[in-house]
Amino acid sequence: MVLGRAFEDMCAQMYYRGKMFGFVHLYNGQEAVSTGFIKLLKKEDYVVSTYRDHVHALSKGVPARAVMSELFGKTTGCCRGQGGSMHMFSKEHNLLGGFAFIGEGIPVATGAAFTSKYKREVLKEGDSEDVTLAFFGDGTCNNGQFFECLNLAALWKLPIVFVVENNLWAIGMSHLRATSDPEIWKKGPAFGMPGVHVDGMDVLKVREVAKAAIGRARRGEGPTLVECETYRFRGHSLADPDELRDPAEKAHYAARDPIISLKKYIIEKSLASEAELKVIEKKIDEVVEDAVEFANESPLPPRSQLLENVFADPKGFGIGPDGRYRCEDPKFTEGTAHV
């Protein structure tokens, strides 16, 4: 959680210094949800996220260096600088993105869950199911794709957990103004799956609920819809002046900061001393500083990278005027051919 917070704060700094650009959506305040769920997963389990995906990537194990380089647009980033803030993918860590359109990731997540069930039942590989977690927000719960996937996941008993990060606001649109029935967890039972509501600012409570939901999916009992009531401390993105949200509401949730709450709990229960926690925070600061340095020093993508990865088979670029496949022309791979 501390890594997530420190990383996101550093992102804001770097953005205002011009190292990062475009759309950047920060996760401050919602760390309990990411940590509470993703830390219970195996490496083979899948996570599908939205554009607010930096911390999901970090929780799933993508190195901070790779994420920071990606944000700076350098070739050492997790997507070689080609994806950016909103499109974090990692095959190694089974992070399937990073989608800009809300609701777009949910069918992808449902497909990943389908694959893991198929692998076990039809291809007979492995003996327990890989679970998929789909993260999305309150605004997505009014979108058609969400309902279509709830239906299919329950129908086919797919090993997926739908995690709603209800932070009560789309950009400037309050959840209450956009939704006929604002209690999202109720939409689960309508499709035949359990719907659970949990306080998303308390990482231990989230973890309890996550354990139950992930366990259910892994045993093949089907999907769960978990609504985490949480809050984002910053605006929707770094371009959002965040004027519409009531300061009293912001203060209310700032008092329930998940990191501060957990710190208090740890110290009260004498699980660690304050000095030990400070050591952890210092280490995290070093990790984030190192990530920034690494990203700063990394090279920009070379010109030849512009045309790479468009297709898995680059013959898809077709045949050039000289009668050969364009990708076989040495100028094409050097990046100096005309496109």
Partner 1 sequence: MMVREALNSALDEEMSADPKVLLMGEEVGEYQGAYKISKGLLEKYGPERVLDTPITEAGFTGIGVGAAFYGLKPIVEFMTFNFSMQAIDHIINSAAKTSYMSAGQISVPIVFRGPNGAAAGVGAQHSQCYASWYASCPGLKVLAPYSSEDARGLLKAAIRDPDPVVFLENELLYGESFPVSAEVLDSSFCLPIGKAKIEREGKDVTITAFSKMVGYALKAAEILAKDGISAEIINLRSIRPLDRPAINASVRKTNRLVTVEEGFPQHGVGAEICASIIEDSFGYLDAPVERITGADVPMPYAANLERMALPQVDDIVRAARRACYRSVPMAAAQSY
Q: How far is CA 316 from CA 306, 325, 326, in A?
A: 15, 9, 9
DSSP 8-state symbol, 153? H
In degrees, to the nearest 5, what angle opens at C-alpha 293 toward C-alphas 289 and 295?
115
By CB under 8 A, residue 115 contacts partner 1: no
By CB under 8 A, residue 101 contacts partner 1: yes
**In this complex, which beta carbon is closest to partner 1, that of residue 207 or of residue 234?**
234
**In this complex, which beta carbon is closest to partner 1, that of residue 244 or of residue 260?**
244
Q: Which range binds partner 1 by CB under 8 A, 4-12, 83-91, 192-200, 224-232?
A: 83-91
Q: How far is CA 253 from CA 169, 174, 248, 260, in A?
A: 13, 16, 9, 12
> Tokens 């967890």 appear where?
185
**In this complex, which beta carbon is closest to partner 1, that of residue 143 or of residue 333?**
143
Q: Between residue 319 and residue 338, which ones bind partner 1 under the rule CB under 8 A?
A: 321, 338
In degrees, to the nearest 5, what angle opens at C-alpha 216 toward C-alphas 210 and 133?
50
By CB under 8 A, residue 86 contacts partner 1: yes
By CB under 8 A, residue 142 contacts partner 1: yes
**In this complex, which beta carbon is closest to partner 1, that of residue 22 or of residue 189?**
22
**In this complex, which beta carbon is closest to partner 1, that of residue 173 or of residue 260?**
173
d(CA 282, CA 279): 5
Helix axes 64-72, 2-16, angle to 10 degrees: 20
Q: Which range binds partner 1 by CB under 8 A, 94-102, 116-124, 224-232, 251-259?
A: 94-102
- Tell me which of 28, 30, 50, 85 binds partner 1, using CB under 8 A: 85
* CB distance 21 to 40 below 8 Å: no
- Tell me which of 63, 82, 119, 218 binds partner 1, using CB under 8 A: 82
Please report, as ranges, the residues that interact with partner 1 according to CB under 8 A: 21-23, 70, 73-75, 79, 81-87, 99-103, 139-140, 142-144, 170-173, 177-179, 244, 300-301, 303, 305-307, 310, 317, 321, 338-339
